[in-house]
Amino acid sequence: MNTETSEEIMFEIKDTLVSLDLAEQFFCCDLDACKGQCCIDGDAGAPVTPQEVERIKEVLPAIWDDMLPRARQEVETNGVAYIDEEGDLVTTIIDGANCAFTCYDKGGMCLCAIEKACRQGKIDFLKPASCHLYPLRLTEYAKFTAVNYHRWKICKPAEALGRKLGIRLYQFLKGPLVARFGQEWYDELALACETYLNSDLSIENS
């Protein structure tokens, strides 16, 4: 269903409030264009839970050789995560920007060493949920979780590719959303998005 807030209409799905961007925005990651820049461009690490910190510690031996020497040194000295200026627990970074768990493929493309090891069958932990869900950001409140699209210039190629292929943000992130919120929640979201896009409220039909 939809709920009216002081700023905009949002989707109310169980105990979450979801931005209309998930329905309106076209999106499909274009790694050939962006080179995985979201892993190395920023002023803090990726948000993680204490449980995810423990999982990263557990898989370190499997990803150690893929990490940059500078990253290995930083992790040995300061650990796999830290508390940032906003008080959030985030992954360790190097040089004030790069995630410590970034590795590089041919052509300078950035990859996640954790995800690489998982896809190779070495570990069963894909990566932190915040990375899996990106470009969505979750904000936890007392009574609900807000689900919002993080707009960033480096994702312009993804928006362009998504429009070309006709893939909406909620469709592109089906797997991560199901993993985080469950299939029933996602089915309700998909129905809400489809209903909205076919309604007079949609910006495409206004």
pLDDT one-digit tens code per residue, 140-150:
899 999 999 99
Distances (CA, A) of 43 to 25, 38, 97, 137: 25, 11, 5, 16
> Would you give the end-to-end CA distance of the chain in angstroms?
20
| Best mean pLDDT range from 42-46, 104-108, 111-115, 179-183 | 179-183
- Who's near 87: CB < 8 A, 6+ residues apart? none
Shared domain check, 175 and 93 = no
Residue owning tokens 């557990």: 58
CA dihedral 133, 137, 140, 146 (to 10 degrees): -100
Range of the domain at 126: 32-134
The residues with which 139 forms a beta bridge, in sequence order, are 146
Q: What is the pLDDT of residue 2?
A: 42
Shared domain check, 155 and 65 = no
**pLDDT, tens digit, 9 for 90 and up, residues 178-197:** 999 999 999 999 999 999 99
Shared domain check, 192 and 128 = no
Shared domain check, 97 and 8 = no
**pLDDT, tens digit, 9 for 90 and up, residues 55-94:** 999 999 999 999 999 999 999 999 999 999 889 999 999 9
**pLDDT, tens digit, 9 for 90 and up, residues 6-39:** 346 789 999 999 999 999 999 999 877 776 777 6
Kindly report the pTM of this predicted structure. Answer: 0.82
Shared domain check, 203 and 122 = no
CA 204 to chain centre: 26
Shared domain check, 205 and 123 = no
Distance CA 69, CA 6 (A): 49
158 lies in some domain: yes
Quick one: DSSP state of residue 66? G
Specify whether the CB–CB gap between 144 and 158 falls below 8 A: no
19 lies in some domain: yes
For 73, list phi and psi in degrees, rounded to 5: -65, -45
Q: Domain boundary at 90, 107, 134, which?
A: 134
How many independent structural domains does the chain possess?
2
Shared domain check, 179 and 109 = no
- Who's near 62: CB < 8 A, 6+ residues apart? 117, 122, 123
Shared domain check, 94 and 81 = yes
